[in-house]
Amino acid sequence: MTKTALITGATSGIGKATAYEFAKHGIKLVLCGRRLERLEMLQKELNTLTKVHILNFDVSNKTETFKALENLPEDFKTIDILINNAGNAHGLDPIQDGSIDDWDAMMDINVKGLLYVSKAIIPQMTERQSGHIINIGSSAGKEVYPKGNVYCASKHAVLAVTEGMRIDLNPFGIKVSAVNPGLVETEFSQVRFKGDEKAKDVYKGFKALQAEDIAEIIYFVVSRPNHVNIADLLVFPTAQANSTTVKKEL
């Protein structure tokens, strides 16, 4: 039977590449994000491969999130796969100089947004006693790096929530996985540095992971046999050994 996946943060980077990868395999898609024109473009492009429904909402807005997810059309109502991907870093500052607005954004989107979306989708999975939730964590969820403070905290929280979900949803046969990438060349650094030139330097001098690399891994995770759950996966570009050790040739 054709499966349906809901992907948050599908307008860019890892989420967008995952939409393409899933469409290639005929998975029906519910694609979410705040930038409507990008969602419309994706729907137009992917409609030739699979059925696509788009939802335009901000995951950090509780009311918008529940409203959007409570009203899924009949054909897209059964969510087999939930990819909790929406998120970003906002700023890279020592804790004493950090912006409270940046802290709020990271906690509200990366942590609370993931919880809101999950809260809206989990009941149908527990009822059916099936489903797969993949939370996009980060190497920053396993290791704290200088000036990463609150972003790292948000991704540590994503990993804790993932483990908690895996335990609580175990009786229902629901799979819960974390995919934790290192440096991936997406719009991530443009968002982190708010459009500043600094963003360009982040992926200079080495071959960073591409969004498609992670999308292929996510498809691998969701396409394992029923009895196999990849619980937690950490992936770096070859040039990266940990958050602070990257072999660069400039």
Interface with ligand 8X3 by CB under 6 A: which residues?
A: 138-140, 148, 182-183, 243
Which partner in ligand 8X3, ligand NDP, none is near 87 (CB below 5 to 8 A by kind)? ligand NDP
Closest residue to ligand NDP, Cβ-based?
13
Closest to ligand 8X3 by CB, 155 vs 175, is 155
Structure tokens at 225: 């046999």
Task: Find the binder of ligand NDP among 21, 30, 87, 157 (CB under 6 A).
Answer: 87
Task: Find the binder of ligand NDP among 24, 35, 207, 247 (CB under 6 A).
Answer: 35
Rounded Cα–Cα distance for residues 4 and 248 (Å) = 40
Closest to ligand 8X3 by CB, 230 vs 234, is 234
34 is a site residue for ligand NDP (CB under 6 A): yes
Place of tokens 């929530």: 161
Which of 87, 94, 83 shows the shortest CA–CA distance to 4? 83
Which of 32, 3, 25 shows the shortest CA–CA distance to 128? 3
Contact partners, residue 33, CB within 8 Å, separation at least 6: 8, 9, 10, 11, 12, 15, 39, 56, 86
Which partner in ligand 8X3, ligand NDP, none is near 243 (CB below 5 to 8 A by kind)? ligand 8X3
**20 in catalytic set:** no
**203 in catalytic set:** no
Q: Is 21 exposed, middle or buried (0-12, 13-18, 19+ CB in 10 A)?
A: buried
Pairing of the two strands 245-246 and 240-242: antiparallel
Q: Closest distance between ligand NDP and the C-beta of residue 172, in Å? A: 25
Task: Print the binding letters for residues 40-79 with ligand NDP: x by CB under 6 A, - otherwise.
Answer: ------------------xxx-------------------
Catalytic residue among 16, 116, 151, 175: 151
In the chain, the amino acid numbered 19 is A
Rounded Cα–Cα distance for residues 181 and 197 (Å) = 23
Catalytic residues: 151, 155
